[in-house]
């Protein structure tokens, strides 16, 4: 979802959990694991975009008991690609 000059990859809700999800993929191990690309700068950007998204949609928090930041890492160096879901990978403060 585009928000200004930024983008949130996925926004998901299951029960009382509202998750903002960053998806990263790698085709080679040259630059490390996909989740390693979600560094402090990227975390702060995702958290800020989530704040903007929620400010425009306060109703989205209705019934939410937890707001979480997840990372989905797709490692395409193997076949089939390995997919890891890292729940609560980081917090609002980056």
Q: What is the pTM of this model?
A: 0.90
pLDDT higher than threshold 90 for residue 4: no
Per-residue pLDDT averaged across 28-34, rounded? 89
* pLDDT tens per residue across span 37-93: 999 999 999 999 999 999 999 999 999 999 999 999 999 998 999 999 999 999 876
pLDDT at 57: 96
Question: The domain containing residue 62 runs over which residues?
Answer: 2-90
pLDDT at 94: 57
Q: Could you tell me the CATH number of the domain that includes residue 43? A: 3.40.1350.10
What is the separation of C-alpha 40 from the centre of its chain, rounded to a whole number of angstroms? Answer: 13
Burial of 62 from C-beta contacts in 10 A (0-12 / 13-18 / 19+): exposed
Rg of the chain's alpha carbons, rounded to an integer?
14
Q: CA-CA distances (angstroms) from residue 70 to 20, 80, 92? A: 6, 22, 11
């Amino acid at each position: 979802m585009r928000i200004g000059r930024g983008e949130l990859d996925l926004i998901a809700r299951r029960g009382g959990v509202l998750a903002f999800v960053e998806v990263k993929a790698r085709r080679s191990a040259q630059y490390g694991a996909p989740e390693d690309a979600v560094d402090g700068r990227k975390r702060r950007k995702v958290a800020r975009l989530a704040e903007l998204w929620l400010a425009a949609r306060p109703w989205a928090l209705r019934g939410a008991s937890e707001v979480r930041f997840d990372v989905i890492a797709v490692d395409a160096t193997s076949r089939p690609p390995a997919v890891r879901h890292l729940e609560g990978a980081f917090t609002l403060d980056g």
